[in-house]
Structure 1
Amino acid sequence: MKRQKRDRLERAQSQGYKAGLNGRSMEACPYQQMDAKSYWLGGWREARDDKQTGLFK
């Protein structure tokens, strides 16, 4: 059970990261559940930080 939940949250973070790299806005988050939304937003923020530091162009 924990493995499924962790995979779901990891997938949300990965999708948020990709959205951040592609320049999508924070409001584009497709998740309504708070835990998945938090992971998506965390990935989005991480991607925006990476992009600002020059890791990606």
Structure 2
Amino acid sequence: MKRQKRDKSERAYAKGYQTGLTGRANDNCPHDEMNQRQAWLNGWRDGWSDHVEGYTGVSGIHKMNHHTL
């Protein structure tokens, strides 16, 4: 049985979230395609917001698991 790949937009969101959560700038977006770029930026915004609010390390595990599933 083959493993089904996640949607590219979903993966872009997860990577953007991880980038924002670590406090890196949003100009690091690697996508040129509009839908993936928008998903990455949405993830970055959510990750950046969690970074600013202090949801890093152990306090952010429950949020990160939710965003990266």
TM-score normalised per structure 2: 0.68
The sequence identity of aligned pairs, in percent, is 39
Greater Rg over alpha carbons, structure: 2
Q: Compared with structure 1, are the counterparts of its residues 21 and 12 closer, same or farther at alpha carbon in structure 2 (3 Å cutoff)?
A: same
Verify: 1:39 aligned to 2:39, yes or no.
yes
SS in 2 for 1:55: coil
Counterpart Cα distance in 1 of 2:35 and 2:26 = 16
RMSD: 1.9
Instruction: Tell me, yes or no, if the aligned pair for 2:23 and 2:51 is still in contact at 8 Å.
Output: no
Q: Larger RCO: Structure 1 or Structure 2 (Cα < 8 Å, ≥ 6 residues apart)?
A: 1
Runs of 5+ in structure 2 lacking a partner? 58-69
Counterpart Cα distance in 1 of 2:19 and 2:7 = 18
Instruction: Tell me, yes or no, if the aligned pair for 2:18 and 2:47 is still in contact at 8 Å.
Output: yes
TM-score normalised per structure 1: 0.80
Paired residues for 1:1-57 under 5 Å = 7-56=7-56
**Over 2 Å off, 4+ runs:** none
- Once the 2 structures are TM-superposed, how far is the Cα of residue 54 of structure 1 from its aligned partner? 2.0
Q: How many pairs are equivalent?
A: 54
